[in-house]
Amino acid sequence: MDNPENKKGITIKINGEEKPLVEDDRSDSVTVAENQTSAAMEPEDESFDWVFPKDEGVFYQPATSTKKKNPTILAFGGKWKNPGNKSGYSLKLPFLAILFAVIIGSSLGLIVLKAITADKEVAAVPVESKIPNEPVKDEKKGAAVPTIQPLTAFLVQGGLFSNEEAAKQIQERVMDKGVPAEVLKQDEKYYLFLGSATNLDESKQLAVFFKSYDVEVFWKELTLKPGSAASSNAAIMNKMITVYQNLTKASSAQLLNPTATTDMKSLQTELEELKTKVKDDAPAGLKAAYSDLSSATDLIKQYQSTKEPSQLLKAQQKLLQFLNSYQI
């Protein structure tokens, strides 16, 4: 009989622990083979196909492991929303944004449309032409209404005063020396003028001539405003202005050059034309202006025979008075 201590022991390691293998009546080789066989068979999974009985209208489709993702829609605000979401939240923001855009766009369109329509309505309003009920008497068809031409005078100035009384006092002193003098009011000031010329250079020469009479002299260009009488008789006054300019040229030229000659015939013709136009019922300013021109013409005519400079100085006085009559 063998000693049990001399028997070779067999140990196995299970989960990291060594355990002795108890021998049975079977041989070691058989036991080991069975353990190996059983160990090899344990990891295998048991699987089998399910077979269902056939039934009309019923079928089975096994679920697939891959799930199909639902499409996503980019909503306003930069977030991706799932259309499968039945809460309706994914459509709320885009719908409101589109609604507000439609409302704002419609409002702007209506405003622009109203503005364009209003402009067209204003443009479409016809301008009514005013037709007089009765034709104007003595009005020729197509004839332009005459306007008075501006009167620019080139004068010899003897002083400038703030009140009329002071100007009148100096006027008397100058006239006592045989020099023509007339006070004209312009812009709330009072000018004392001594003579009239046809241009600014001639007014300077005439100022030198008057200085020999021991008076203060300056030269000035002045544009006069017509008075009510001149404005209401523009055609007649325009003719008077032409006569005034011709008489000024005749008188100043002969004062500066005694040998100068003047065509008196043309002056007389112009004066006769004026006489037929200035009626007895004409305004006082218009009749005074004509009287001044008529007197100046007579004085220049007298100078032609007498050659007395005083006649020309008196003619200059009448021409200065005409400027005052023009402003009445």
pLDDT of residue 70: 53
Indicate the helix (H) or strand (E) that contains 209. helix 200-211
What is the overall mean pLDDT for the chain? Answer: 75
Instruction: Please give the C-alpha separations between residue 131 and each of 125, 134, 136, 146, 247, in angstroms, as whole numbers.
Output: 18, 9, 11, 21, 45
Tens of pLDDT, residue by residue over 80-91, are: 444 555 444 444
Give the per-residue pLDDT at 40: 43
The better pLDDT of the pair 96, 119 is held by 96
Query: Dihedral of CA 86/91/96/102: which sign?
Result: negative
Whole-prediction pTM value?
0.57
Which is more confidently placed, 117 or 76? 117
Q: What residues contact 303, with CB distance under 8 A and at least 6 apart? A: 254, 309, 311, 312, 315
At 228, which amino acid appears? S
Which pair of structure tokens corresponds to residue 287?
A: 């009749």
> 199 CB contacts (<8 Å, ≥6 apart)?
154
pLDDT digits (tens, 9 = 90+) for 204-222: 999 999 999 999 999 999 9
Phi, psi for 289 (deg, rounded to 5): -65, -45
Mean pLDDT of 265-284: 89
